[in-house]
Amino acid sequence: MKIVLGIWIAVVVALGFAMPIGNIPGLGPKARIIFFHVPMSWLAVLAFFMSMWYGITYLRKKDMKYDVKSSTAAELGFMFSVLATITGSIWAKFNWGSFWNWDPRETSIFVLLMIYGAYFSLRSALEVEEKRASLSAVYSIVAFVTVPFFVFIMPRITFSLHPGGAGSAAPILNSNGKMYLDMNMRIVFYSSLIGFTFLYVWLFQLRSKINMLALRQADKSN
């Protein structure tokens, strides 16, 4: 599976840079960033949702493996949020003239990173496993409530230069309500989403096993 996954993503990356793309108003050739930026953003939301889901499961069953899965999902969500910020900043440099402009989209992702940064600070500050797991689970639930607002709502109700934002010169949808993606772009875009989603699943399983082994080793030491 790892080999197939690696080949898939390598092909998607190659096609993303090499394949001719259609015209998206306000973006032009720089629209290729969506093949990487959008999947990173999607995986961040998916990971934060899973963190909340496993947090709820832990509160119901009080099984530490769900705390491990919740924190693992939050780790990956934070990582993909950083990657989404980096890819977005690269695009902003070419389109807006600087890597950071405090656009509503940039501001919202910054706040989201602070929220989940506080999650890890909370976990590191608590030594009792059960207390850390319970408080982290509650925090993951509260934190995810903010995700839809900062990712989907705020950038669209305030003036934003980001494509799809209010007043943006680069709309995501055309007059028929469909995305500005020709067939070539659709193939690469959806392949990228699928490939990176499988990458997330593999990373989640691998990281969960590592964190679970670390937890068992710590229990044996105590």
Q: Are 41 and 84 in contact (CB under 8 A)?
A: yes
What tens digit of pLDDT does each residue of 82-109 get? 999 998 898 888 777 888 888 888 889 9
- The chain-wide mean pLDDT, for the chain, equals 82
Q: How confident is the model at residue 80 (pLDDT cuts 50, 70, 90)?
A: very high
- CA terminus-to-terminus distance, the chain: 37
Q: Which pLDDT score is estimated for 6? A: 63
Please state, in angstroms and rounded to a whole number, the distance separating the CA atoms of residues 85 and 163.
15
- Given the structure tokens 């394949």, which residue do they identify? 19
Q: Which pLDDT score is estimated for 116? A: 96
The gap from C-alpha 219 to its chain's centroid, in whole angstroms, comes to 32
Q: Which pLDDT score is estimated for 24? A: 58
What tens digit of pLDDT does each residue of 152-163 get? 787 677 776 666
The gap from C-alpha 113 to its chain's centroid, in whole angstroms, comes to 11
Q: Are 118 and 146 in contact (CB under 8 A)?
A: no
What tens digit of pLDDT does each residue of 200-220 get? 999 999 999 999 998 888 777
The gap from C-alpha 129 to its chain's centroid, in whole angstroms, comes to 27
3-state secondary structure (DSSP) of residue 194: helix
Q: Which pLDDT score is estimated for 28? A: 60
The domain limits of the chain are 2-7+32-221
What tens digit of pLDDT does each residue of 22-67 get? 555 555 666 777 888 889 999 999 999 999 999 999 999 999 999 9
What tens digit of pLDDT does each residue of 124-142 get? 999 889 999 999 999 999 9
Q: Which pLDDT score is estimated for 173? A: 45
**16-30 burial code (b ≥16 CB/10 A, e <16):** beeeebeebeebeee
Q: Where are the beta strands (DSSP E) in 86-160?
A: none
Give the global pTM.
0.85
- Given the structure tokens 């797991």, which residue do they identify? 133
Q: Which pLDDT score is estimated for 133? A: 95
> Is 185's pLDDT higher than 90?
no
Q: Pseudo-torsion of CA 194, 197, 199, 200, nearest 10°?
A: 180
Q: Which pLDDT score is estimated for 14? A: 58
Q: Which pLDDT score is estimated for 61? A: 94
Helix 2-18 and helix 183-221, axial crossing angle in degrees, nearest 10: 140
